[in-house]
Amino acid sequence: TFNGTWKVERNDNYDKFMEQMGINLVKRKLAAHDNLKMTIEQSGDTFHVKEHSNFRNLDIDFTLGVTFEYSLADGTDVSGSWTIEGDMMKGVFVRKDNGKQLTTTRVVQGDELIQSYSYDGVDAKRIFKRS
Ligand code: MYR
């Protein structure tokens, strides 16, 4: 279900979320229009994700339930893991600079992939379409 190429179409409360993350206004304005595209290839418990945006191109490999390191586009380092519960991917990550938790989920509904983000009491969503 998650497999495929997904292009961001709209954001919900993403600016507030990034503000809570401590990202400055200029970066937030750029990030709101980052043209993020993700190609997700799942095979069993292992995932290969190709991330393309105005900021960077990145390949990420991870296994469900296994902790890995990831750097956000602004350079913030996190570590954590993804699991799957039912038809939802759930990610729990911890920021290395302040120890605070960042949670995220992915769910496919129709031709949309909805990724939610939660940090320090602020929730946001990014909605992707298959491309
Ligand atoms: C992936 O599956 O795409 C790789 C691992 C993703 C980790 C997600 C961590 C949360 C990203 C939050 C972005 C917030 C930008 C301010």
Task: Please give the ipTM for the structure prediction.
Answer: 0.90
Residue 125's pLDDT is: 98
Check: CB of residue 92 under 8 Å from CB of residue 81: yes
Atom from ligand 1 closest to the CA of residue 18:
16
As a whole number, mean pLDDT of residues 115-130 equals 98
Please tell me the distance from the alpha carbon of residue 122 to that of residue 4, in angstroms, as a whole number.
Answer: 29
> Which pLDDT value is given to residue 7?
98
61 CA from centroid of ligand 1 (Å) = 13
Other C-beta atoms closer than 10 Å to the C-beta of 103 total 14
HSE-CB for 111 with a 13 A CA cutoff: 5
pLDDT in tens, 51-104: 999 999 999 999 999 999 999 999 999 999 999 999 999 999 999 999 999 999
CB of 60 closer than 6 angstroms to any ligand 1 atom: yes
Within its chain, how far is the Cα of 35 from the centroid? Answer: 13
109 — pLDDT class (breaks 50, 70, 90): very high
| pTM of the predicted structure, to 2 decimals | 0.96
Q: Tell me, what DSSP letter sits at residue 36?
A: -
